[in-house]
Structure 1
Amino acid sequence: MDPLSEVLSLLKPRSYVSSGFDAGGDWAVRFSEMDAVIKCYAVISGGCWLVVEGETAPVRLTAGDCFVLPSGRPFRLASDLAAPPTDAKAIFPPINAGGVVTHNGGGGLFLVGSRFTISGGPTGLLLKMLPPIVHIRKEAEQTALRWSVERMRQELRDGQPGGFLIAQHLAHMMLVQALRLHLSHGLPEQPGWFAALADKQICAAMTAMHQDPAYRWTLQGLAGRAGMSRSSFAQKFREKAGETPMEYLTRWRMLLAADRLKNGSDPVSVISTSLGYESESAFSTAFKRIMGCSPRQYGRQGKSSGPVRQRAERQTSQLTRLVG
């Protein structure tokens, strides 16, 4: 798989609600912080403002725009930035309801969206690999995304048998298509994983690491995959990704190990060998440095939301420099 597909697969996003929002008049809705959640929305008609906590500038959304919020931060949607916000819980029904919510009579804005729970781990490191805001403006190359959005609008409005399941699959398509379009623009503002993927040379090296994480990669070998000299590659990789190629490779190996420890039954010795480590002790040292606990501790807690795994995810979030 390619790096984007692999990271999304490790996150294991599951759409637990898709709904439409039809608002009219002057309005503002405040959405609370939600851990381990990705939100994806598309504006069908009208327009509004998006304000995300921690981001300095509000974003103007118009018909045809799509946006993804992987950070789980609180945010606000509003027809007017001066309008007093209403808490979303007072407007939207329980999370399993779906359908279309009408606010203030509707007619001014219509958007569709989905919320994805993240069941993969460690969520802290994985979510930080995605940008805090992905804003896709209406453009000609959005044909596939617009098709998914329009189909979701129809399913939510019509309420036909099987519509809930169809909406879930369409939501996953919207998410991947939006992230793919964001990558195709190739101009992430900050160093990080997305900035690295947007660069064809660096992406080629990252793809090689993802396709064969157990291989004994060297800086020279990765530079060859990128079609660059060793020194130029090392400098460019750090500038784009925010860390060295070997640091990225180690971090990716630990993410793969964490997923297998949580969801599989392989012993640590098998996992370490399959990821290119000659000794279990070397693997365990690297795992503890990245994850904040030993592989066996993580594995024991991995199938629950125990304190060891929660602490590991907090430490991983602090350690990571992939803030793209």
Structure 2
Amino acid sequence: MDPLSEMLALLKPKSYITAGFDAGGSWALILDDLAGRIKCYAVVKGGCWLSMEESDGPVFLKAGDCFVLPTGRPALIASDLEAEPELASQTLHPDRSGEVVTFNGGGDVFLVGSRFEVNGRHAEVMLQALPPFIHVESTQDRTKLRLYIELMMDELRDARPGAFQVAQNLSHMMLAQALRLFLESSPGGVGWFTALADPRLAQSIKAMHSDPSHAWTLEELARKAGMSRTSFAQYFRRRVGETPISYLARWRMMSAGTKLIQGEETMAEISMSLGYSSEHAFSTAFKRIMGQSPRRYGRSQKQNVNSDQ
């Protein structure tokens, strides 16, 4: 499995709302309900602004553009940046999946997409590696993405039997394709996600993902990247934001977290499958990286999963 697929598998994004948004006139909304969620929408008609704190400024989204907000931070979306903003949590009905929501009369701007719930503590760790705002412009090669968007619009509009489930499945495909297109056009940045666009680092990251139990050394990973040991270590840290070995340890712990939640393996089996010689060594590393002991993590996350069902 490639790293992007593994990231989505670990996050287990569950489509919470799949809907259309039809807005008109002068309006502004603060998207204040994104904590623990990923928002992925496409502009089908018209255009609007999107702005986030600590960004380089507002970005204009035109018809055909897609955007992903993966970190849960609030964002402002508006037709008019001077308009008095309203809170989305107070303005839009929370149970609107499968519908087209009309706001301020509609008719000028139309968006379609989904909001995804993601897996608690896994999400906190994984989403830190993603940019707060991912913009996929219409000028890019986006034939598949356009197809998913058009099919989702058809399902929302026609409301045929099974439309809700089909639209949810399409939203997952739309999210994966948007992330893929962003990677293919990523100009740089810091974090393992954007580093996947770097041909040299992608090979070393894929190697760690494919065999996390292996006792990887800097020399081996540097060979995968076609670089010297020193150059690789410096370059990896500059592009990913941490050392290769600390990245490997973190990836092992996230993989372990999934196994703990599933509850199909013993602690000893999980430890061995990730290259640790003892449960104690594994438990110490897990608590250092994930903030709590493996057993406590497994219990708490199972409770979260059960409460969501």
Q: Which amino acid aligns with 1:220?
A: E
CA offset digits 1:241-288 (Å, max 9, x no partner): 011111110010011111111222322111000101112211111111
Offset at residue 120 of structure 1 (A)? 5.7
Please state whether the residue corresponding to 2:81 is helix, strand or coil.
Answer: coil
Paired residue for 2:164?
Answer: 164
Please state whether the residue corresponding to 1:18 is helix, strand or coil.
Answer: strand
Offset at residue 160 of structure 1 (A)? 1.4
- Residue 85 in structure 1 maps to residue 85 in structure 2: yes
- Residue 276 in structure 1 maps to residue 275 in structure 2: yes
Q: How far, CA to CA, are the matches of 1:54 and 1:186 in structure 2?
A: 19
2:43 and 2:62 in contact (8 A); partners too: yes
Q: How far, CA to CA, are the matches of 2:275 and 2:93 in structure 1?
A: 49
Q: Which amino acid aligns with 1:11?
A: L
1:12 and 1:120 in contact (8 A); partners too: no
- Residue 16 in structure 1 maps to residue 16 in structure 2: yes
Percent identity (aligned):
55
Q: How far, CA to CA, are the matches of 1:48 and 1:115 in structure 2?
A: 18
- Residue 254 in structure 1 maps to residue 253 in structure 2: yes
- Residue 235 in structure 1 maps to residue 234 in structure 2: yes
Q: How far, CA to CA, are the matches of 2:89 and 2:235 in structure 1?
A: 45
2:49 and 2:81 in contact (8 A); partners too: yes
Q: How far, CA to CA, are the matches of 1:97 and 1:256 in structure 2?
A: 31
Paired residue for 1:321?
Answer: none
Offset at residue 64 of structure 1 (A)? 0.6
Q: Would the alpha carbon gap of residues 120 and 211 (structure 1) be closer, same or farther in structure 2, given more than 3 Å must change?
A: farther
Q: How far, CA to CA, are the matches of 2:298 and 2:23 in structure 1?
A: 47
Offset at residue 91 of structure 1 (A)? 4.0
Please state whether the residue corresponding to 1:122 is helix, strand or coil.
Answer: helix
Paired residue for 2:62?
Answer: 62
Q: How far, CA to CA, are the matches of 1:102 and 1:96 in structure 2?
A: 11
Paired residue for 2:199?
Answer: 200
Please state whether the residue corresponding to 1:84 is helix, strand or coil.
Answer: coil
Paired residue for 2:42?
Answer: 42
Q: Decide which moves more: 157-166 or 54-63.
A: 54-63
CA offset digits 1:107-133 (Å, max 9, x no partner): 211110200001364221011122111
Q: Which amino acid aligns with 2:242?
A: E
Q: What is the TM-score when the length of structure 2 is the normalising length? A: 0.94
Paired residue for 2:100?
Answer: 100
Paired residue for 1:302?
Answer: 301
Q: How far, CA to CA, are the matches of 1:179 and 1:93 in structure 2?
A: 28
Offset at residue 55 of structure 1 (A)? 2.7
CA offset digits 1:217-254 (Å, max 9, x no partner): 11111111111111111111111101111111001001
Q: How far, CA to CA, are the matches of 1:27 and 1:33 in structure 2?
A: 18
Paired residue for 1:136?
Answer: 136
1:11 and 1:121 in contact (8 A); partners too: no
Q: How far, CA to CA, are the matches of 1:300 and 1:61 in structure 2?
A: 43
Q: Which amino acid aligns with 1:130?
A: L
Offset at residue 96 of structure 1 (A)? 4.7
Please state whether the residue corresponding to 2:46 is helix, strand or coil.
Answer: strand
Q: What is the TM-score when the length of structure 1 is the normalising length? A: 0.90
2:16 and 2:97 in contact (8 A); partners too: no
- RMSD in angstroms over aligned alpha carbons? 1.6
Paired residue for 1:312?
Answer: none
2:191 and 2:239 in contact (8 A); partners too: yes
Q: How far, CA to CA, are the matches of 1:275 and 1:92 in structure 2?
A: 45
- Residue 110 in structure 1 maps to residue 115 in structure 2: no
Q: Decide which moves more: 118-127 or 171-180.
A: 118-127
Q: How far, CA to CA, are the matches of 1:39 and 1:241 in structure 2?
A: 24
Paired residue for 1:176?
Answer: 176
CA offset digits 1:39-58 (Å, max 9, x no partner): 00100010011122343411
Query: Number of paired residues?
Result: 305
Q: How far, CA to CA, are the matches of 2:90 and 2:291 in structure 1?
A: 39
Q: How far, CA to CA, are the matches of 2:294 and 2:200 in structure 1?
A: 33
Please state whether the residue corresponding to 1:93 is helix, strand or coil.
Answer: coil
1:120 and 1:259 in contact (8 A); partners too: no
Q: How far, CA to CA, are the matches of 1:298 and 1:250 in structure 2?
A: 17
Q: Which runs of 5+ in 2 are unaligned?
A: none
Q: Which runs of 5+ in 1 are unaligned?
A: 307-324
